[in-house]
Amino acid sequence: MDFSVKTGELATLETACLVLGVSEPRTLSSAAQAVDHASGGQLSKQLETGDLDGDAGRMQLLYQLPGVAAERVLLVNSGKSGELDRRTFDKVLKAVFARSAELGLTELTSTLAEAPVAKMTPYQRQRAIAQAGAHSSYRYEHTKAKKPNAKPPLTTLNLWVASDAERAAAEQAATHAAALAAGANLARELANLPGNICTPSYLAEQARALAEGGTPSFTVEVLDEAAMGELGMGALLSVARGSREPAHLIVMKHNGGSPGEAPVVLVGKGLTFDAGGISIKPAADMDEMKYDMCGGAAVIGAMQAVRNLKLPLNVIGVVPTSENLPDGAANKPGDIVTTLSGQTVEILNTDAEGRLILCDALTYCERFEPAVLIDMATLTGACVVALGRHPSALFANDDQLAEALATAGEAAGDRLWRMPLWKDYDSQLESNFADMANIGGREGGAITAAAFLAKFVGNYSQTVPWAHLDIAGTAWVSGKEKGATGRPVPLLVEYLLRRAGLAS
């Protein structure tokens, strides 16, 4: 999607659709007042009908207003007068872009950033508008026949500002939103692809494609099973034994910071299909297990955004990727594997495989001597039971990192909720036959999964600030609107922008 920043007289602005805000009780925004004056009071007359009264997000579409160059004017109820909350603002944006999609608009001009929103700067409001527009424009078409009469998606979004003084913040917001939205939509596309297309090898190919074009600061390396075997990644490789698709370890590096500067390392679970292995999952909704690689997809999407923005940071993205299927060679309950760290794990449930591929990836990342280590995974159903589908779960060994991630999540509309990571839970992972078991029972399942991963960060030569994000409830939606959300790409990019001092 293309973004541009517009200023000047709204009445003379040529656009397919001009979006204007109206707050309750029946109050035109500053931008709407200017258009109302140019049209001889036509907007005020529309307000008198009461058609916009009620909930935020109600809309009225007007055509060919006298004295107004826009083909259409879309009036939208933006909530009660005064400062809006972020939830209401997001609701309004979702409604506007849903209506745009219904109309098949390819171009639109928004003035909604002039509405005051709690804890959001003008930059953040413009970026939220741009992200919402780009999110709505995504269409999954890879495996669908093209419909000749299908309505086109939005391709151009104009962000209007009242003065040149506001232009710089809006242009920065547009630049950041373009990269962020492209990364999120890449993550959505990879996750939405079926497992027979998006295999571990396909995922590796998409990561390699990011390095095409000869950008020396961005490189990609893919380790095959032989290389991982030589290293001793027994846990990761054990998961892949039941599949004909070979496992890979994808390593993407963006060298945008100073030489020798400790990197931010992102690790994402890349299970391109998870049938559960010998501990096979129920048949109902098993198709959604193609989404078990959403953590890996998010890392690839975030790394694309980092590359496009040329962030002045050293960032490394690592994606362990495989399938988890039942087979004669697959892991069996009771099997014991030796991890890259040298610790042994008793596999009591083969469906708790994500932590097995992540633990070796986390150990591998010690060689990078990271400043910060963040992993993300659709790891546990227990997380969804605990938190539902609104926030992702946050576990961290460092309060400063946890606070930074939570703050970034609030700013990006990609929220987190911190969960405990106490040593009390370690006893649930004890095994009579190995250094640990891979599950800790029904109680606190999301927490014991995080506690398992913590054992592979705790072996680092020095303590590294580490966070684990369980995105099982937020990475995709089910039902009629089934599809990947692209989360937590917005959170990750926001965190990295703030770390680079570029978020306003």
Q: Are residues 135 and 266 in the same domain?
A: no
> Quick check: is 127 in a domain?
yes
Neighbour tally for 185: CB within 10 Å: 21
Do residues 146 and 198 share a domain?
no
Same domain, 203 and 279: yes
Expressed in percent and rounded to 5, the helix, strand and coil fractions of the chain are 40, 20, 40
**What CA–CA distance (Å, rounded) separates 371 from 173?**
27
Task: Assess whether 241 carries a catalytic annotation.
Answer: no
Q: Could you tell me if 219 and 143 lie in one domain? A: no
Q: What is the pLDDT of residue 400?
A: 98
Point out the residues of the chain with pLDDT beneath 50. none
Residue 172 counted as domain residue: no
Cβ atoms of residues 223 and 270 within 8 Å: no
Q: Are residues 260 and 152 in the same domain?
A: no
Whether 167 is covered by a domain: the verdict is no
Strand 416-418 and strand 314-324: the pairing is: unpaired
What is the per-residue pLDDT for 215?
Answer: 77
Q: What are all long-range contacts of 126-129, with beta carbons under 8 Å and residues at least 24 apart?
A: 126/159, 126/161, 126/169, 126/170, 126/173, 126/174, 126/177, 127/173, 127/174, 127/176, 127/177, 127/180, 128/89, 128/90, 128/93, 128/413, 129/93, 129/157, 129/159
* CATH for 107: 3.40.220.10
Q: How far apart are CA 136 and CA 103, in angstroms?
A: 13
pLDDT in tens, 147-184: 888 899 999 999 999 999 999 999 999 999 999 999 99
Q: Are 216 and 107 in the same domain?
A: no
Name the catalytic one among 86, 99, 127, 355: 355
Burial of 129 (0-12, 13-18, 19+ CB in 10 A): buried
Q: In sequence order, which ranges of 151-285 are alpha helices (DSSP H)? A: 167-192, 200-209, 225-231, 234-240
Instruction: Identify whether residues 300 and 334 lie together within a single domain.
Output: yes
Q: Are 502 and 493 in contact (CB under 8 A)?
A: no
The SS3 assignment for 483 reads strand
**Which position among 58, 139, 167, 281 bears the catalytic label?**
281
Give the pLDDT of residue 24. Answer: 87
**What residues pair up with 225 in beta bridges, in sequence order?**
none
d(CA 6, CA 43): 22
Q: Characterise 345 by phi-psi region: left (phi > 0), alpha (psi -120 to 50), beta (else).
A: beta
* Model pTM score: 0.96
Instruction: Tell the burial category of 149 from Cβ atoms under 10 Å away from its Cβ (0-12, 13-18, 19+).
Output: exposed
Cα 74 to Cα 76: distance, rounded to the nearest angstrom: 6
C-alpha 487: how far from chain center: 2
User: Do 157 and 190 fall within a single domain?
Assistant: no
Per DSSP, the residues of 85-146 read PHHHHHHHHHHHHHHHHHHT-SEEEE-GGGS-BTT--HHHHHHHHHHHHHHHH----TTSPP
Report yes or no on 504 lying in a domain.
no
Domain count, the chain: 2
- Residue 55 has a CB neighbour count (10 Å cut-off) of 12
Which residue pairs from 432-436 have beta carbons closer than 8 angstroms and sit at least 24 positions apart in sequence? 433/336, 433/346, 434/336, 434/344, 434/345, 434/346, 435/343, 435/344, 435/345, 436/343, 436/344, 436/345, 436/346
Domain presence at residue 31: yes
Residues 157 and 209 in one domain: no
Q: Are residues 155 and 16 in the same domain?
A: yes
Is 284 a domain residue?
Answer: yes
Position 417 in a domain: yes
- The boundaries of the domain holding residue 393 are 184-499
Verify that 222 and 361 share a domain, yes or no. yes
179 domain-assigned: no
- Residue 462: per-residue pLDDT: 83
How far, CA to CA in Å, does 443 sit from each of 342, 353, 383?
28, 18, 11
Per-residue model confidence (pLDDT) at position 214 = 66
Q: What local confidence, expressed as pLDDT, does residue 464 receive?
A: 96
Q: Residue 224 in contact with residue 342, Cβ under 8 Å? A: no
Contact predicate 114/77, CB 8 Å: no
Residues 28 and 120 in one domain: yes
Per the annotation, the verdict on 253 as an active-site residue is no
> 3-state SS of 263-274?
CEEEEECEEEEE
Write the CATH number for 343. 3.40.630.10
